[in-house]
Structure 1
Amino acid sequence: MSTILTTTLIISAITSILAAILTAADRTVGNYGEVKLTINNEKTYTVEGGTSLLSTLRNEKIFIPSACGGKGSCGYCKVVVTEGGGPVLATELPLLTKEEFAKNMRLSCQCKLKQDIKIEIPEELFNVKEYASTVVKMEKVTPTIKYLRFDLGDEEINFRPGQYVQLKAPAYEGNDEEVYRAYSVASSVNDKHAIELLIGYTGGIATTYVHQHLNVGDNVHINGPYGDFYYHEDDNGPIILAGAGTGMAPILSILKYMAENNINRKTIFFFGAKTMSDLFMLEQIKYFEEKLPAFKFIATLSREESPDWNGDRGRVPDSIIKHVENGENYSAYLCGSPAMIDSIIKSLEEKNVPLNKIYYDKF
């Protein structure tokens, strides 16, 4: 018995020593000290090594879009790494095209700073700011979607209609993780001291925070604006707008811009929902119909069984086929899930809408 006990103690001691050695080695290897981060060959920062490029940039108040909160699943946080990035990780490859790989593009959330590094980012990202906002209005507009208005105080935000911001969801009861999530702006570009968002409940960290923990009067950090999906003013032809659920948000911003600037282009807004209870913002839609004589709203419901519904039934792509005769002079703005947008694009192609005039935001 004593021999067994002695052997057990020896094995335990050896295991503890090995664990200590491995821990010390990890700390030594992982301690990269200070490294230099050079951006666009113009600005150089001395930063602590060992963290992700995304986190480091955020600490320097340079905000790179990241809809997944840095988990390597959205592909939004791409930057060009010209020097010092190390090998591309397997987690990055599925989200990089061959062209992006050839241009040394990386996911900043997956690229860890281990040595001096040089990167290139779009100049407009230097204009992205973080805002300390206050929730001043919150309204449940459907069983699963909330409308929120955030007051920015004395700060002003300048964005293009259609762009998005990132909302910071802090840790809360049942969740110890802090995340950023992307949401399209629904407000007018002239409403510079506030931001309006539409946020649907999905059960994720951020939407649970918004729907179950956030209250009027709470403070929320928001950064932005981001995105290359926005209204193009260099085109005077007719427009197709299409979205579903919270995909209405950027389209509302575009319509507000058109109404405020008396842009009376022929415009058809195709909106998809499941049932009549999922239709919302109808008062604003009515305002656009009064303000913009060439504007038409077409809602289509995929699961409505009531005979009281006299509108379209089915999906948005079907309504486009039904109502658009020839789209060769149209431009289109789409916002929704990847599958929905892909199917809408097929319908638009069938109606001869030029591919270079189809703008979309997949989320």
Structure 2
Amino acid sequence: MIAPTVAHLSFLRDDGQPLDYIPGQFIQVHFTYADGAPARRSYSLATQHDHALGAGEAVEIAVSYVAGGAATALFEGMELGGSVDASGPYGRFCLMPADANQRYLLIGTGTGITPYRAMLPQLGQLIAGRGVEVVLLQGARTPEELLYGDEFRAFADAHPGFRYLPCLSRALPQAGSPLAHADVRHGYVQDALAEFAPNAEGDIAYLCGNPNMVDACFEALKECGLPIPQIRREKYVSNK
């Protein structure tokens, strides 16, 4: 459990092969409801690779536990070594090779932060290779709900071109906590956007997570003059 209601799960393909993917893509888990009807749920890959893929590579996802949820029941009832059926990877919520921007604004809430964890090795290469700046705004209610927050903070400490700002709507970290940092903000991610003066000349934004947050940030970025092609979106909806 990486948060009170979120589990980090790791799988291996049963044929022993790696899952070749682009950071930002997702897989679909297939299962059946109690009445036998087919169901599927989509999960962004949290896996990080900065090397050539090899056999036995983990396939990592973050799963939100939804009360009464069919997928929650599936994962809760799974023993270590259990298996699921899945397909993919799918999706285009990825860093594009043709991008020539000066800065990425990455904004996520809940498990919508997962794609950015997978992108960290790629972002490190872009920071070192062409001096890209990266701002990651992560929204949560409390410090305990900051998924992978310790990893993002460590990455920011190691990469001066990467800035990590947790935006907490209810409770701030206690003094002395590793997450008690000058870059912590009180409020919502959309409220913190203006601080970075989004600019159509140099910015590309990624929005992932709660649909209301995605819509609010999308409108705020458009008001700042960012063209729609420079605002890339993926909405997460909790299903039972």
**What is the aligned counterpart of 1:312 among 154, 162, 185?**
185
- Unmatched segments (≥5 aa) in structure 2: none
Structure 1 residue 253 displacement after superposition = 1.2
> Scaled by the length of structure 1, what TM-score is found?
0.56
Once residues 355 and 294 of structure 1 are traced to their aligned partners in structure 2, the CA distance between those partners, rounded to angstroms, is 25
For residues 277 and 226 of structure 1, do their structure 2 counterparts lie closer, same or farther at Cα, with a shift above 3 Å needed? Answer: same
Greater shift in the superposed pair: 264-273 or 342-351: 342-351
Q: Which secondary structure does the structure 2 equivalent of 1:219 belong to?
A: coil
Tell me, yes or no, if structure 1 residue 232 matches structure 2 residue 96. yes
Once residues 234 and 228 of structure 2 are traced to their aligned partners in structure 1, the CA distance between those partners, rounded to angstroms, is 15
Tell me, yes or no, if structure 1 residue 250 matches structure 2 residue 115. yes
Equivalenced residues, count:
220
For residues 315 and 251 of structure 1, do their structure 2 counterparts lie closer, same or farther at Cα, with a shift above 3 Å needed? Answer: same
Query: Which residue is 1:93 aligned to?
Result: none
Once residues 201 and 240 of structure 1 are traced to their aligned partners in structure 2, the CA distance between those partners, rounded to angstroms, is 28
Residue identity matched to 2:197: E
Once residues 213 and 326 of structure 1 are traced to their aligned partners in structure 2, the CA distance between those partners, rounded to angstroms, is 45
Structure 1 residue 291 displacement after superposition = 3.9
Once residues 326 and 355 of structure 1 are traced to their aligned partners in structure 2, the CA distance between those partners, rounded to angstroms, is 13
Query: Which residue is 1:151 aligned to?
Result: 12
**What is the aligned counterpart of 2:136 among 248, 253, 269?**
269
**What is the aligned counterpart of 1:361 among 225, 229, 234?**
234
8 Å Cα contact 1:330/1:354 also seen in 2: no
For residues 307 and 149 of structure 1, do their structure 2 counterparts lie closer, same or farther at Cα, with a shift above 3 Å needed? Answer: closer
For residues 216 and 307 of structure 1, do their structure 2 counterparts lie closer, same or farther at Cα, with a shift above 3 Å needed? Answer: closer
Structure 1 residue 178 displacement after superposition = 4.3
Once residues 312 and 272 of structure 1 are traced to their aligned partners in structure 2, the CA distance between those partners, rounded to angstroms, is 9
**TM superposition outliers: structure 1 runs of 4+ over 3 Å:** 174-178, 189-192, 260-264, 305-310
Deviations, residues 178-224 of structure 1 (Å, cap 9, x unaligned): 422111111125555321101111232112322x2123211122210
Query: Which residue is 1:335 aligned to?
Result: 208
> Scaled by the length of structure 2, what TM-score is found?
0.82
Query: Which residue is 2:224 aligned to?
Result: 351
Once residues 191 and 85 of structure 2 are traced to their aligned partners in structure 1, the CA distance between those partners, rounded to angstroms, is 40
Query: Which residue is 2:40 aligned to?
Result: 180
**What is the aligned counterpart of 2:196 among 324, 327, 349?**
324
Deviations, residues 11-32 of structure 1 (Å, cap 9, x unaligned): xxxxxxxxxxxxxxxxxxxxxx
Q: Tell me which of the two structures has the higher relative contact order, counting C-alpha pairs closer than 8 angstroms and 6 or more residues apart.
A: 2
Once residues 307 and 253 of structure 1 are traced to their aligned partners in structure 2, the CA distance between those partners, rounded to angstroms, is 28
Once residues 334 and 207 of structure 1 are traced to their aligned partners in structure 2, the CA distance between those partners, rounded to angstroms, is 25
Tell me, yes or no, if structure 1 residue 279 matches structure 2 residue 165. no
**What is the aligned counterpart of 2:26 among 161, 164, 175?**
164
Structure 1 residue 325 displacement after superposition = 2.1
Query: Which residue is 1:196 aligned to?
Result: 60
Once residues 125 and 65 of structure 2 are traced to their aligned partners in structure 1, the CA distance between those partners, rounded to angstroms, is 31
8 Å Cα contact 1:241/1:267 also seen in 2: yes
Once residues 222 and 216 of structure 1 are traced to their aligned partners in structure 2, the CA distance between those partners, rounded to angstroms, is 17
Once residues 208 and 175 of structure 1 are traced to their aligned partners in structure 2, the CA distance between those partners, rounded to angstroms, is 14
Once residues 174 and 24 of structure 2 are traced to their aligned partners in structure 1, the CA distance between those partners, rounded to angstroms, is 35
8 Å Cα contact 2:66/2:72 also seen in 1: yes
Once residues 196 and 163 of structure 2 are traced to their aligned partners in structure 1, the CA distance between those partners, rounded to angstroms, is 12
8 Å Cα contact 1:175/1:205 also seen in 2: no
Residue identity matched to 2:28: Q
Once residues 210 and 172 of structure 2 are traced to their aligned partners in structure 1, the CA distance between those partners, rounded to angstroms, is 24
